Chains A and B, each alone.
Chain A
Amino acid sequence: MPDPLTHSLLAGGALLWAMTLISLGLFCWKVAAYGRVLQRARLEPRWDHLPQRLRLFATNVLGQKRMFEEPAIGAAHFLIFWSFVFYAGSFWWNLGRALLPMLPVPFADEVAWMALALEVTGVLGLAALAVAAVRRYVFAPPRLEKSRDATIILLLITLVLLSSLAGGGFAYLANPRSWRPVGAFLAGIFSAAGVTQVQAGSLYLWMMWLHLATVLGFLAYLPYSKHLHLLASPFGVFFGALQPGLAPASSEGAWKLEEFTWRQLFSGLACAECGRCDRACPAFESGTPLSPKTLMHDIKMLVRSNGADFAVTREQVWACVTCAACMTRCPVFNEHIPLLIEMRRHLVAQGEVDPRLQTALMNLTRYGNSFGQSARNRAKWTQGLGFKLKDARKEPVEYLWLVGDYASFDPRVQAVSAAAGRVFERAGLNFGILYEAEQNSGNDARRAGEEGLFETLRDKNLAALAKAKFERIVTGDPHTYHALKNEYGRANGVVHSTELVDELIASGKLPALTKLDATVAYHDPCYLGRYNGVYAAPRRVLDSVASTVVEMPRNRANAYCCGAGGGRIWMEDAPTGKERPAEGRVREAAGLPGVGILAVACPKDLVMFEDALKTTGLEGQLAVKDIMQLVEEGSRSHATSAP
């Protein structure tokens, strides 16, 4: 068996050293250049919660968890990833051995178990690559970017594996050894093709050369390609957002490279342009100019051009509904929403705001609600209740009920508030509201890019909360819930009304509920479900008040947004020729056999779906009801005051 080191091409190792140094040099130089570009951006420390980050890394990089959401490619990618990692590891082993022959270490493929492992991962890897190729080029899912660079990289990986396996075959032909079944198999083929033992020895060296050269070339090429995904994504996950979708820390907005944070820009580099975000995005599906994947691409180009090329348009920035479906699906934890919020902040700072949004923001600033009604009208809805709600500004209560804007001012949702009020009363709760002191939570103002307005509303609400005496806060509005829980700095003591009702049922305070004889489908609100993980409580409550509860095809973390979030309920909808998100969602519900009720747990969902029923003509077929309305109906036997 010829010693690779005496091979004329490897004589003195000088050529290999040269290739290695050039390759590494090119690699490090380009990575450093990227580093310098990112250094121009704003700081964003992401070293917090290290144990959590390590867990995230283990699950999502080593375990490839999110990839398995699309099972076929998930399995294939898992295999490609691990075979690549394994081969990368063995490459360094071989390279080290080749460059430093004085080391008393054999080549990797000379060690029996390594040789077997290399063969097994090589075969599995190639099979997975074949599956991936068929999916990519024959059965491509929508929005999968078939970029040239991605193709080149796939070919290079294939070549790395093939050259190693072929080399193993030639090595076996030259020098048969055990623990090398694939090598043996290939040797048989080569020998049948007329390759002699001597030739095999030489061909083995050529294959080793090819293998090493391919990897070195790959290493050099990688940072110059557009497919930096391989390098960047593990870091993206490690430095990812521990809670997806939260608004970035207060800033003046971003439109130029140095105004974004390094982590926001990094998303462009980590992106593999797989298209999962686009497939989940309601703005994209309803035909708006926004594509989260294209956004990542544009950020990548911004970084690659060192800030010169920025192709993001205003229409794209404003189209987002901040449902966070993109960020929840993204396997590399890209930061679509923070990027969009930063850009919105910039546009707001310039005064470039849709006129209807402008009206809503001015109303919020002046009246504390987006409806432009006097703050004094906030509690007018309580007049139809039949009993007086406690004023939490004046007397202590156990539950402070933050009703929310839509639930207070929109006539359709006022009925839900009345229902909720009756339920709380029947359960014997000690609860009250803040009357005129309550302001809009500011969640959507923040997501529309009006950070200053958010701070004003937050501070006013916090001041009102500080003066009131209560144990817990309950709200039927997921946007309010999310803001209070995550962005006001009050981690504890906030429950959604369905969570509270769940507790009340469990503790017997709402016993013997009568079930409505109906088939009900539940729509998970984005800010309750995807953002805050509340899935079980609303379902348990529904099970108590409805005879049949079914899941929407897209449910839980995959629930499809109604399209109202991110301030979009306040903006003009440009006609796109496609269905609006709410329309698609009600059709989804109506398509389920026997479903007569679409149950919601968010005021905006109620409003959006009721409108959608009209525009799709499904009004007679499907009704939209808030869970609290169903609970109220089911608890009428407890009624102490007239409904």
Chain B
Amino acid sequence: MEGGIWVLAEQWRGRLCDVTYELLALGRELADGLGVPLQAVLLGDGVKELAASLGRADAVLYANHPALKDPLPEPYAEALAQLAAERKPRAVLVPLTNVSAGVGSLLGERLQASAVNFCKDVRLKDGRMEALCVLYGGKIEAAIAPAGEPVIFGILSGSRPAEKGRGAGAPAVEEVAVDLSPSQVRFKRYVEPEAGDVDLTQQDTLVGVGRGIQSQDNLELAESLAQALGGAVCGSRPVVDQGWLPLSRQVGKSGLTVKPKVYLAAGVSGAPEHIEGMREASLIIAVNSDPGAPIFNVAHFGFVGDVLDLLPALTEAIQARKA
């Protein structure tokens, strides 16, 4: 099949990541809008059975190769490039996550095709594909019109609900061959984070702290609030980098993805890397002193003010209510 929309299925450690389904949902819309087939590309070593859940697509291209065992951009991009050169898709949707990082750029280079990153959406405008991209940490949104075909879209997680990408039924799976030289980097092992005392993914309530908490001392304000709410404290990358919270409490691109009932973002700016980890919370309440903070784009409720004032006030209000 030529001229389809391709989605790179993100497979990691034997499982398909949720973002795969998000991209399938998006890809389905584009494919239907253009009247072309939607194909999922599954790359790996001995993971054929994962193709069964990619039913939202019309077909699955499965390439099995030892070099594809662990996700690295070079072999993945090369495999995609070989397949794309033969089968000429119109667009390739690649997840913009740590796992698939770099694949899109290398693929675009290899095919001498347009590549667009930071896409939060791709829509059709007069039969042409246009990407809506997030730039400068969320401060600017740009509509991008790529030229030529294929176009490689790097899609941020959260473009579509994952449920919309899960398909009924198993798709047709075509095994394809790729010619890959052994990787120049040697994958040695995975390093798990130290088991934290708390499993953030099991919490109903999370208080997320960012740079706005200003100092390690002020963490106790967040702790008190988390305790009052029966939840736990987590943090964005800067807070963990400073050593104020352990790695097991990091939420975001390199950290955990959490889906609590309520996420209180305290002093979090809302850069895409963090949003990626918490945007699926049922209720997001954000406090930040910067009225232009991108977190307000994903929050349900927001307050422009001093985090260090609001946290204790909220803790007190909650305790008063319970008393």
Contacts and interface: CB of A to CB of B under 8 A. Distances in A.
A614 B216 CA distance: 19
Interface residues of B, number: 7
Nearest to A575: B217
Nearest to A571: B215
Interface residue SS majority, chain B: loop
Interface in A342-366: 355-356
A411 B306 contact: yes
Given A573-B217, A614-B312, 8 more contacts: A355-B242, A356-B214, A356-B215, A411-B306, A572-B215, A572-B216, A572-B217, A575-B217
Contacts, number: 10
A613 B240 CA distance: 31
A92 B9 CA distance: 100
Interface string B206-225: 00000000111100000000
A614 B309 CA distance: 10
A572 B215 CA distance: 7
Contacts of B306: 411
10 contacts: A355-B242, A356-B214, A356-B215, A411-B306, A572-B215, A572-B216, A572-B217, A573-B217, A575-B217, A614-B312
Nearest to A572: B215
Nearest to B312: A614
Contacts of A355: 242
Interface of A: 355-356, 411, 572-573, 575, 614
A355 B242 CA distance: 9
Nearest to A410: B306
The 3 closest A-B pairs by CB, nearest first: A572-B215, A356-B215, A573-B217
Contacts of A572: 215-217
Interface in B295-323: 306, 312
Nearest to B305: A411
Nearest to B214: A356
Contacts of B217: 572-573, 575
A579 to B, nearest CB: 15
Contacts of A614: 312
A262 to B, nearest CB: 39
A624 to B, nearest CB: 15
A443 B61 CA distance: 67
Nearest to A615: B312
Interface string B237-266: 000001000000000000000000000000
Contacts of B214: 356
- Of B215, B216, B306, chain A has the most CB atoms within 10 Å of the CB of B215
Nearest to B313: A614
A614 B310 CA distance: 13
A356 B242 CA distance: 10
A614 B215 CA distance: 18
Interface string B186-220: 00000000000000000000000000001111000
Contacts of A411: 306
Contacts of A573: 217
A573 B218 CA distance: 11
A573 B220 CA distance: 14
Nearest to A574: B217
A118 to B, nearest CB: 62
Nearest to A411: B306
A479 to B, nearest CB: 21
B268 to A, nearest CB: 16
A301 to B, nearest CB: 34
A572 B312 CA distance: 19
Nearest to A412: B306
A572 B216 CA distance: 8
Nearest to A356: B215
Nearest to B243: A355
